């Protein structure tokens, strides 16, 4: 299934370890040109550690939009809010209708590595292809 957006992080699945595993998939690759990939570490401490260790640079080099720790698109108010016709894959923990923006968007929940693999491929795929 093709996607238009991908979201990695926030309070669930935005741990340091989630970003380490996801960075193995994205390192040396680019985000699919039709995908908006938003990444938000779970906390300021996680953000700082990822920055210090060069992990956020891997995501930046791939073309991801890196945001400071916040709720982001998860509650449908800012930073990656989905619009009508959007198909998003997300590592957040909820996807009920209208949660992340438009009631006409489709949200698919997945693991952090599946979200990252989909952001690269432009569609929901098995992440083992990139491991």
Q: Per the structure block, which two tokens stand in for 123?
A: 């569609």
What ranges make up the beta strands (E) of 15-127? 36-40, 65-66, 87-90, 106-109
Q: Is 117 within 8 Å of 127 (Cβ atoms)?
A: yes
- What's the farthest any 2 CA atoms get from each other in the chain? 39
Q: 């930046």: which residue's tokens?
A: 60
Residues 84 and 104: beta-carbon distance below 8 Å: yes
| Distance (Å, whole) CA 121 – CA 119 | 6
* Domains of the chain: residue spans and CATH: 5-130 (3.30.499.10)
Tens place of pLDDT for every residue, the chain, 131 residues? 999 999 998 767 778 999 999 999 999 999 999 999 999 998 999 999 999 999 999 999 999 999 866 555 555 455 556 667 788 898 876 665 655 655 677 788 999 999 999 999 999 999 999 98
């Amino acid at each position: 299934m093709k996607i238009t957006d991908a979201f990695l992080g926030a309070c669930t699945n935005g741990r340091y370890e989630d970003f380490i595993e996801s960075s193995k998939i994205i390192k040396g690759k680019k985000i699919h040109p039709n995908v908006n990939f938003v990444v938000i570490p779970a906390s300021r401490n996680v953000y700082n550690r990822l920055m210090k260790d060069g992990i956020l640079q891997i995501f930046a080099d791939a073309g991801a939009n890196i945001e400071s720790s916040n709720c982001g698109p998860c509650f449908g108010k800012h930073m990656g809010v989905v619009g009508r016709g959007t198909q998003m894959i997300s590592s957040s923990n909820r996807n009920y209708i209208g949660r992340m923006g438009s009631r006409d968007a489709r949200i698919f929940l997945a693991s952090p590595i599946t979200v990252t693999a989909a952001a690269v491929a432009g569609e929901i795929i098995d992440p083992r292809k990139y491991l």
